[in-house]
A and B are shown apart, each in its own frame.
Chain A
């Protein structure tokens, strides 16, 4: 078992780097807030970043359990379908989509 001092050192490193990566860009951007480029990017970015997160999360699920690829794709379709058909209630859509995946993975 690793020593406690090693574990603490890891925790300190992780905390410092993670916080710095989250905080420093804000300090830099504050100086650029009036820049038209930064403003336009902040309008364009969110939907694209969400799409990238969705694709990489799906890919993570598939690479962890390659034989569930079809189930994962089906569950994504069910999630999106539920969301568009039943008034965009996130909890309902995420709940039903996840249930479909869990049932398929555990049943077959």
Chain B
């Protein structure tokens, strides 16, 4: 009997705590129009990413046909890997029947960068387990980037998921279009892949909201400069690793100072 009462009390405490959290950061009691608005906002977020993703998808489809691989490989790769740079790399490896061990190693190295996204990807906004699983599966560079550039108050689960679903649609759709064009078009328009570069430039500007961000940007630029010189073939991965190391050092340095800062202020 006593344990039953305490169970109920625990449950109530949990409910209260959960609701407190909910009201703090996610409006789960979202009304239908508000929800629809968030989904529309997510679709809008995806447009600029789509400018980069869709042409890249077309390039993937074209490449699959040029490499004499079956057409269904384009959508199958987009769904199973869902990581642009890796897919383009894999088409070449599959065409030459690269050993599976080498494929495994390549995937590990090229996609290892996603490990670093977990620190700041707002997965806690997504409550439903299936939606959570999808958000993790669809955490591509572009989805991470578009979301990271948003102010925290404007993020929500419907907005995030709508953007991710849209991005995946662009990928698969672009790939299918590329497959279809593969036979028809002699040479696709050159240079469209620059959209990805433009997208990341714009998102960096958006995330740079105050001078407080300056140290992070400088450390990142230093990391990527060193990485490009020392490890040009795995520059992205090396740069991220260095960046985390430098931030950790920064943390260690600032942790020792707060008392002094407070005294100075």
Q: A-side interface residues toward B, CB under 8 Å?
A: 1-2, 4, 6-7, 9-15, 17-19, 21-26, 28-29, 37-38, 40-61, 64-65, 68, 72, 75-76, 79-80, 83-84, 88, 90-91, 93-95, 97-98, 101-102, 104-106
Q: B239: nearest residue on chain A (CB-CB)?
A: A52
Contacts A14-B103, A19-B136, A90-B206 known; A50 to B148 CB distance under 8 Å?
Answer: yes
Q: Give the residues in chain A near B172, CB-CB below 8 Å.
A: none
Q: How far is the CB of B123 from chain A (nearest CB, A)?
A: 6
Q: Are A48 and B190 neighbours in the complex by a CB distance under 8 Å?
A: no
Q: Give the residues in chain B near A88, CB-CB below 8 Å.
A: 202, 205-206
Q: Are B243 and A10 neighbours in the complex by a CB distance under 8 Å?
A: no
Q: Give the residues in chain A near B93, CB-CB below 8 Å.
A: 10
Which residues 198-221 of B sit at the A interface, judged by CB distance below 8 A?
198-208, 213, 215-217, 219-221
Partner of B244, one of A10, A41, A83: A41
Q: Are A22 and B201 neighbours in the complex by a CB distance under 8 Å?
A: no
Contacts A41-B251, A93-B198, A98-B198 known; A21 to B69 CB distance under 8 Å?
Answer: no
Q: Are A10 and B235 neighbours in the complex by a CB distance under 8 Å?
A: no
Q: Are A10 and B236 neighbours in the complex by a CB distance under 8 Å?
A: no
B169 adjacent to chain A (CB < 8 Å): no
Q: Are A72 and B216 neighbours in the complex by a CB distance under 8 Å?
A: no
Q: How far is the CB of B127 from chain A (nearest CB, A)?
A: 14
Contacts A18-B82, A42-B120, A52-B243 known; A93 to B202 CB distance under 8 Å?
Answer: yes
CA A55 – CA B119 in complex, angstroms? 21
Q: How far is the CB of A12 from chain B (nearest CB, A)?
A: 8
Q: A56: nearest residue on chain B (CB-CB)?
A: B236
Q: Give the residues in chain A near B243, CB-CB below 8 Å.
A: 45, 48-49, 52
Q: B215: nearest residue on chain A (CB-CB)?
A: A44
Top 7 nearest A-B pairs by Cβ distance? A48-B220, A25-B118, A90-B48, A46-B148, A54-B200, A97-B198, A105-B191
Q: Are B217 and A15 neighbours in the complex by a CB distance under 8 Å?
A: no
Which residues 117-171 of B sit at the A interface, judged by CB distance below 8 A?
117-121, 123, 136-137, 139, 141, 144-145, 148-149
Q: Give the residues in chain A near B200, CB-CB below 8 Å.
A: 50, 53-54, 57
Q: Give the residues in chain A near B204, CB-CB below 8 Å.
A: 47, 50-51, 53-54
Contacts A10-B94, A41-B251, A50-B207 known; A75 to B217 CB distance under 8 Å?
Answer: no
CA A85 – CA B26 in complex, angstroms? 33
Q: B-side interface residues toward A, CB under 8 Å?
A: 47-48, 51-52, 68-70, 73, 76-77, 80-83, 85-86, 90, 93-95, 97, 100, 103-104, 107-108, 111-112, 114-121, 123, 136-137, 139, 141, 144-145, 148-149, 189-208, 213, 215-217, 219-221, 223-224, 228, 235-236, 239-240, 243-244, 247-248, 250-251
Q: Give the residues in chain A near B228, CB-CB below 8 Å.
A: 55-56, 59
Q: Are B202 and A51 neighbours in the complex by a CB distance under 8 Å?
A: no
Q: How far is the CB of A84 from chain B (nearest CB, A)?
A: 7
Q: B213: nearest residue on chain A (CB-CB)?
A: A47
CA A45 – CA B107 in complex, angstroms? 23
Q: Are B194 and A72 neighbours in the complex by a CB distance under 8 Å?
A: yes
Q: How far is the CB of A68 from chain B (nearest CB, A)?
A: 8
Contacts A14-B107, A21-B115, A52-B236 known; A7 to B194 CB distance under 8 Å?
Answer: no
Q: A32: nearest residue on chain B (CB-CB)?
A: B119
Partner of B216, one of A19, A37, A45: A45
Q: Are B191 and A26 neighbours in the complex by a CB distance under 8 Å?
A: no
